Structure 1
Amino acid sequence: MFLILICVFSAVVMSQNKLTSVDFEIFGNVQGVCFRMYTEEQGRSLGLSGWVKNTRQGTVIGQIQGPMDKVNDMKLWLKNVGSPSSRIDRAVFSNERDMCKLELHGFSTRY
């Protein structure tokens, strides 16, 4: 029993420390409603690295990097919350991959 608990605890700790990267694209009313500013703020508050940018097609794209559990929290936020005035119709996540170390540092808005 004790060994099983150690294995479960070890798996949880490893998944929390595992670094991951994911690209995203958010569809809906997400431009002109401070979506990028709130995304940058949320990413920083979670301790993530990444970037966010408006597209000419009216979507918002970006990339987030950090511990898997925090990246998953950010994915939920991007899919369900966003900025107060936004309307999120769809969130697409792609190119998810594990990483040994972060490639980005800090969270910024790109133009």
Structure 2
Amino acid sequence: MIARRVVVHGQVQGVFFRASCRRAAQEAGVAGWVRNLPDGTVEAFFEGPEDDVGRMVDWARHGPPHAAVDRIDVTDEPPTGSGGFAITY
């Protein structure tokens, strides 16, 4: 198990990024959370098998159809053992 924290920059709020991310994570079997930040970015935490987390990091590079991702910042994090995937506020 590995974990990655991702901060997504660009036009990523108001385009169903969080809901689409949760759906993609649930389909991939990845645990964690996603939330909007006050500066207009979206932050996500992905935890699970390396290949599955890697797919979610790749997904975050483009997001849902109406998102315009400029860049993402990826940080390795210690796994927390969390289960499920949530939208947090």
TM-score tier (shorter): over 0.9
Q: 2:2 aligns with which of 8, 20, 28?
A: 20
Ranges in structure 1 where 5+ consecutive residues have no aligned partner: 1-18
CA–CA separation in structure 2 for the residues paired with 1:73 and 1:63: 13
TM-score, length of structure 1 as denominator length: 0.76
Number of the residue aligned with 1:50: 32
Structure 1 residue 65, shift from structure 2 partner: 0.2
Q: Does residue 104 in structure 1 map to residue 82 in structure 2? A: yes
Q: 1:65 aligns with which of 22, 47, 52?
A: 47
**May I ask how many residue pairs the two structures share in their alignment?**
89
1:39-94 Cα shifts (integer Å, max 9, x gaps): 00000000000100000000000200000011111111111x31110000001101
CA–CA separation in structure 2 for the residues paired with 1:67 and 1:29: 29
Ranges in structure 2 where 5+ consecutive residues have no aligned partner: none
CA–CA separation in structure 1 for the residues paired with 2:6 and 2:63: 13
CA–CA separation in structure 2 for the residues paired with 1:66 and 1:95: 12
Q: Secondary structure at the match of 1:82?
A: coil
CA–CA separation in structure 1 for the residues paired with 2:65 and 2:14: 12
CA–CA separation in structure 1 for the residues paired with 2:67 and 2:50: 26
Percentage of pairs with the same residue? 33
**Which has the bigger relative contact order, CA under 8 A and spacing at least 6?**
2
Letter in 2 for 1:110: T
